């Protein structure tokens, strides 16, 4: 974690970052201790002050401040506000698990999600995306951390069809690579809640390539930047972790691969 540039937590997700801080540091390292403490005491964060954290982690207050700055916050108070914002974003997701007959409700949501994706993204849309991927000199999928696995599952079997696409996540971010794309290239951004796209609007606006966005967010600012927007849902799920965002993305990439295979598979055998 040392030496990394300032990171926007809205991109990666605070909890995800804390786990990564643990994975990339050794026990006994001050950053490891602080990250572990925050994870174990998530519900207490709002009641703690910097003295409490320093005492319980056996580190100095300056170490706590430095940790907060390394992950994009001005100070510990700013960090606590970040936790509250994180709570708000995941409120919808947590409420889902409080429902009675959760299993039946969840199955219904997944089924309706698939139906809604079919309504929002037509077969013609899928064929246009597949054609764009096939004809572009370079194809870059720029994904938030939470959607990265889904995109990589799409990336791997395309190799069997002699098509290489590049996947970039917010943990392996390169503005230089995006800005190096030309009119012959295509950049697709996957940002289910819209935060990732919102945080990178300036970079995308300066990119000369075709720009497609896959999202559940209906933020009007996106229309100014992206060539095409593929909405997974009719409803706006900006900043909301939803069943629709999760399974809509998985379903979309599965059917997109099927369309690509049928349209271009025989040409590469």
pLDDT classification of 93: cutoffs 50, 70, 90: low
Separation in Å, CA 146 to CA 58, 60, 196, 245, 264: 32, 33, 10, 10, 29
- State mean pLDDT over 227-239: 95
Binned at pLDDT 50, 70 and 90, residue 2 comes out as very low
Q: Which two tokens stand for residue 176?
A: 């230089």
Residue 148: what pLDDT?
86
Contact by Cβ (8 Å): 231, 151: no
Pairing relation of β-strands 228-231 and 210-215?
A: parallel
CATH fit for domain 119-268, picks 1.20.120.80, 3.40.50.2020, 3.30.565.10, 3.40.50.10490: 3.40.50.10490
Question: Angle CA(32)–CA(34)–CA(38) in degrees, nearest 5?
Answer: 115
Question: Please, which pLDDT band fits residue 225 given cuts at 50, 70 and 90?
Answer: very high
3-state secondary structure of 193: coil
With the C-alpha atoms ordered 62, 65, 70, 75, is the resulting torsion angle positive or negative? negative
The beta-strand segments (E) located in the chain are 139-143, 166-169, 186-190, 210-215, 228-231
89 falls in which pLDDT band (50, 70, 90)? low
Query: Please, which pLDDT band fits residue 9 given cuts at 50, 70 and 90?
Result: very low
99: number of CA atoms within 13 Å, CB side? Answer: 15
Question: Could you give the count of Cα atoms lying within 13 Å of 141 in the half-sphere of its Cβ?
Answer: 24
So what's the pLDDT on residue 251?
97
Round to whole Å and give the CA distance between 33 and 21: 10
Residue percentage of the chain with pLDDT more than 70:
89
Which tens digit of pLDDT belongs to each residue from 210-223? 999 999 999 999 99
Residue 268 has pLDDT above 60, yes or no: no
**Res 18 pLDDT > 90:** no
Q: How would residue 85 be classed by pLDDT, with cut points 50, 70 and 90? A: low
Indicate the pLDDT class of residue 4, thresholds 50, 70 and 90.
very low
Domains 9-89 and 119-268 alike in fold: no
Q: Which residues contact 244 (CB under 8 A, 6 or more apart)?
A: 109, 113, 116, 216, 232, 233, 235, 237
Inter-residue contact 13 to 170 (CB < 8 Å): no
Pairwise CA distance, residues 43 & 93, whole Å: 17
Distances (CA, A) of 251 to 158, 232, 258: 16, 10, 11
CATH 1.10.645.10 fits 9-89, yes or no: no
Cβ pair 22, 32 in contact under 8 A: yes
| Across 71-85, 138-152, 170-184, 190-204, least confident range | 71-85
For residue 79, the model assigns a pLDDT of 87
CA distances from 167 to 138, 155, 161, 162 (A): 11, 8, 17, 16
Sorted by where each begins, the domain ranges of the chain are: 9-89, 119-268
The pTM for the full model equals 0.74
When the pLDDT of each residue in the chain is averaged and rounded to a whole number, the result is: 87
- Whether the Cβ atoms of residue 212 and residue 188 lie closer than 8 Å to each other: yes
């Amino acid at each position: 974690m040392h030496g990394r540039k300032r990171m926007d937590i809205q991109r990666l997700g605070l909890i995800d970052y804390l786990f990564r801080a643990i994975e990339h540091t050794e026990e006994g390292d001050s950053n490891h201790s602080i990250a572990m403490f925050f994870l174990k005491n998530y519900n207490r964060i709002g009641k703690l002050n910097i003295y409490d954290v320093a005492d319980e982690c056996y580190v100095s207050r300056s170490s706590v401040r430095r940790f907060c700055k390394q992950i994009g916050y001005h100070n510990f108070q700013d960090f606590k506000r970040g936790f509250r914002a994180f709570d708000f974003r995941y409120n919808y997701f947590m409420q889902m698990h409080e429902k009675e007959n959760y299993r039946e409700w969840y199955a219904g949501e997944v089924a309706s999600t698939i139906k809604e994706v079919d309504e929002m993204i037509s077969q013609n849309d899928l064929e246009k995306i597949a054609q764009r991927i096939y004809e572009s000199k370079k194809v870059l999928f720029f994904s938030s951390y939470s959607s990265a696995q889904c995109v990589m599952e799409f990336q791997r079997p395309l190799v069997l069809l002699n098509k290489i696409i590049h996947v970039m996540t917010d943990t392996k971010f390169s503005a230089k690579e995006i800005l190096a794309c030309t009119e012959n290239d295509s950049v697709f951004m996957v940002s289910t809640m819209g935060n990732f796209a919102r945080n990178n609007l300036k970079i995308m606006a300066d990119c000369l390539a075709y720009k497609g966005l896959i999202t559940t967010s209906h933020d009007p600012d996106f229309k100014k930047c992206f060539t095409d927007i593929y909405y997974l849902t009719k409803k706006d799920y900006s900043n909301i972790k939803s069943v629709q965002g999760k399974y809509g993305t998985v379903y979309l990439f599965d059917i997109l691969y099927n369309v690509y295979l049928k349209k271009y598979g025989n040409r590469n055998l």
